[in-house]
Structure 1
Amino acid sequence: MDVSPPRYRRFSRPGPAPQSAADLPAYTRRNTLAQPVARREPVEHIYPLADGKARPWASLILKSSAKSGKSVPTFFEKEHINGSFELTAEKGDSIQSVTVTVTGRIVTGSSTDDTYVFLTQSLPLWSKADSRSSGTAAKLLGDCVWPFSIPLPKAVSLKDPSYDALFRLPETFLERHTRASISYDISVTVSRGKLRADSQIKTRFGYIPTTRPDPPSMLRQMAYRQNTILPGPDVDPAGWTTSSTAVVRGTIFKSHQAAVHCMLSLANPLSYTRGTVIPCRLTLESNDTQALDMFSAPSAPLVTLRRCVRFQNPSTSSKREVDWVQSFEDVCRAVWWPAPNGNDAPYSRSLEGEIKLPKDLASTSSIGRFSVSYTVVVSSFETVGFTPSSSQPILVEPVTITTSHARDSPRPNAYAPPAYAPLPIPRQHHDFYAAPATTRLGR
């Protein structure tokens, strides 16, 4: 961190889809996802403090990578928080010090006990005591400007009865339907004597870490570069993770029992950049051809990306071990189409698919009492005439969502045919529940 002495100057700143491969329309492979974007030029954010006066007597100015000056200031990993503080000191103003502070918090409720501070960085801009010791003016008078530059750490060390570890600085997380949040703010405090109140300017800012997946397999990279079809698990086994076989059981048209064997394949590595896609494959096997045809319709599989926000709230726990609170939400759904030659075998069907990830999807993160994690979930098959024997998920595969692309690797292509638009998610999981501290989510 660095700070320059104040500069005195005039204060002049103003305050229905096809059902078979034969029905597929002709289309061209697209490469429209996540093209390299140049970092924006810094924009200026101004936060004035007037205190009932005709014009501001102090202003906090920040320069950030946000879209505009009206947006919340946004800073990326390795960026400094650059800005300045401007102040007009009147005669007789008993200012003792000026300090800028950056704070990161986990907030899990409305009381003070529901806030956990994981980052605090303070930078003194001016101090009356230091001015006296250095022989400079001990009082501020007129228009003053203090530029500052504060580097954000890549990680923070946290100690708690349950952990002592180094955590990567998490991305800002603030959503209306989720009780827990990760927030950052920057404030400038003007401290005065005992008989006068202090003044403060404070504003939130967004922080985005740089997280990347490992490069995909060489065959998948080649397909992306040449804009060709992705090789499947049978051709590129290193490029896919295939689940164990799960059996889906139920009743067909209330007349007979059916069982379909299901395997889900996801492209390796199981880490994907937001704004791109998760390539998927689904293999179905059964000697019941009626059930097989019903399950292999592109609209039938309900496969979603499910987010879990997990946090601890000590103030609401009456037990010796603090409970973890978990909330789940299905944030996007896979779209499917028949795989080439996927219907050739009499007792097997194959579907190709992908999950399109929103550009603003929160990245995977974990710090102390808070975490954001993701799984790809095969929930059920939505087909008329089939009644499942269980409502439990069929298959679950943990995945990681990152903020940046793999190094030295082509950007992923989107392969979904234009006729196959994403279907709506039939239900959202906004439910909250407390689980014992030892509980682990697993497959």
Structure 2
Amino acid sequence: MDASPPRYRRFSRLGPVPQSAADLPAYTRRNTLAQPAVRREPVEHIFPLEDSKGRPWASLTLRSSAKSSKSTPMYNEKEHINGSFQLHAEKGDSIHSVTVNITGRIVTGAGVNDTYIFLSQSLPLWSKADSRASGAATKLLGASVWPFSIPLQKAVSGKDGVLYRLPETFLERHTRASVAYEISVLVSRGKLRPDSHVKTRFAYVPNIRPDPPSALRQLAYRENSLIPGPEVDPTGWKSTTTAVIRGTMFQRREASVHCTLHLANPLSYTRGTVIPCRMTLDSTDEHALDLFSSPSAPMVTLRRCVRYQNLSTSSKRAPDWAESFEDVSRAVFWPAPSGSDTYSRNLEGEIKLSKDLASTSAFGIFTVSYTVVVSSFETVGFVPSSSHQSILLEPVTIATTYARDSPRPHAYAPPEYAPLPVPRTHNDYFAQANMPIFGRF
């Protein structure tokens, strides 16, 4: 199937725009987002520990919220790390202790000094010294099993001494910095015999919950009706300042278009859903307005910034920061059924959020943040007078769970409006969201 976006007439005739929804292509409202998930039963992961001949003599068993036993173990905030460790000790195997260790680290490079351990928890399962003190047997022989249930710390101290909530696991191929969690079991022996350990990484997901949407948008979600726009539900939308885009039409005359972006309030959105958006375009040049109001013209993206401190090259006086930017999703627009006139156009749209999109995170030396960016318009015959990479910016939060006591968001994009290609990764970035761009109105 051809996934390219539908073609539009860019050079429509001058005159009034459609005044009612009847003049627009009809489509059926649908909810393409995930339905309420049924809570899965914990799955079991088994990690064996083998001897030099490949024979398993111990194993670590974990129960987690992962999709399957073959997936990486996953734990949500407030969940305990439940599992057990079992081993079979042979005669003469002088084991001194068995300990479970949990570690969380931020890695910002390949050097030995590029790692910061922010989480370190230990739980002794058995020790020879404790057994001697309690009068129990001081040697392990045969099969032994130790179940455990470990609650993760809710907050930990960062490198700057500030308390932060635990960050989400972050590991991506094109970003040097990462956040990783690991659980291991150490079997410690005497000085003349080597220790043994089994370990595995696990994924951690914090509970980031957005505030409920406006009452009118909640009503629309419950009734599966169109969500009201800013003119009907002003508290349900955040409107940016108006940017003035100036340029030349077909190298003949000067033209300008006023652009305002509207994002659904609150500016926090659960991954796996969408960011509802609107765009208002105003101009006395109807030809330019026709070009800019084509649904495929606005280049509106969700841009992610990963900012981290290079630990090996930083000092107390001069921290060395690095940033990585990427457009992770592009908005799809379609003509609004109302609110347009000869010198004004309105577009409805949404930005689809991937289910595995990294959540917003702030942990001192490592942050993940998002901004909705209007970067350009793909128009033929219009040459802007400025080459700035951004027209409008609005910071947003990507959450991991749904708003409390609120209906799930709906997706409204008509079926024929396929997702548009996402621009390439950006290596540089505009530093301030309030910088003057193309002039202000």
TM-score of the alignment, normalized to the shorter chain, above 0.5: yes
One-letter identity of the residue aligned with 1:147: P
Matches within 5 A, 1:260-339: 260-317=257-314, 320-339=317-336
Aligned equivalents of 1:262 and 1:420: distance in 2?
22
| Counterpart in the other structure of 1:10 | none
Deviations 1:121-157 (A, max 9, x none): 1000111111111111111111111111101122223
Identity within the alignment, %: 72
- How much does 1:323 deviate? 2.1
1:357 to 353, 357, 366: 353
- How much does 1:169 deviate? 1.0
| Counterpart in the other structure of 1:6 | none
1:390 aligns with 2:387: yes
Aligned equivalents of 2:403 and 2:357: distance in 1?
17
The 10-residue stretch of structure 1 (236-245 or 418-427) with the greater mean CA deviation from structure 2: 418-427
Aligned equivalents of 2:314 and 2:434: distance in 1?
24
Q: Is the 8 A contact 1:342 1:351 kept in 2?
A: no
| Counterpart in the other structure of 1:4 | none
| Counterpart in the other structure of 2:134 | 134
Matches within 5 A, 1:116-131: 116-131=116-131
Report how many residues are paired: 419
| Counterpart in the other structure of 2:103 | 103
1:177 aligns with 2:174: yes
Q: Is the 8 A contact 2:250 2:381 kept in 1?
A: yes
CA distance change for structure 1 residues 385 and 319 in 2, over 3 Å: closer, same or farther?
Answer: farther
- How much does 1:288 deviate? 1.4
- How much does 1:31 deviate? 2.1
Aligned equivalents of 2:342 and 2:391: distance in 1?
23
Aligned equivalents of 2:182 and 2:292: distance in 1?
50
Q: Is the 8 A contact 1:105 1:116 kept in 2?
A: yes
Q: Is the 8 A contact 1:18 1:24 kept in 2?
A: no
5+ residue gaps, structure 2, are 1-5, 10-17, 436-441
- How much does 1:38 deviate? 1.5
CA distance change for structure 1 residues 186 and 133 in 2, over 3 Å: closer, same or farther?
Answer: same
Aligned equivalents of 2:42 and 2:311: distance in 1?
40
Matches within 5 A, 1:1-80: 16-17=6-7, 24-80=24-80
Supply the RMSD in Å over aligned alpha carbons: 1.8
What TM-score do you get using the length of structure 1 for normalisation? 0.91
5+ residue gaps, structure 1, are 1-15
What TM-score do you get using the length of structure 2 for normalisation? 0.91
1:248 aligns with 2:216: no
Aligned equivalents of 2:420 and 2:143: distance in 1?
59
CA distance change for structure 1 residues 54 and 168 in 2, over 3 Å: closer, same or farther?
Answer: closer
One-letter identity of the residue aligned with 1:68: S
- How much does 1:362 deviate? 0.7
Q: Is the 8 A contact 2:216 2:233 kept in 1?
A: yes
CA distance change for structure 1 residues 17 and 276 in 2, over 3 Å: closer, same or farther?
Answer: farther
Aligned equivalents of 2:433 and 2:294: distance in 1?
31
1:150 aligns with 2:150: yes
One-letter identity of the residue aligned with 1:386: F
Q: Is the 8 A contact 2:24 2:337 kept in 1?
A: no
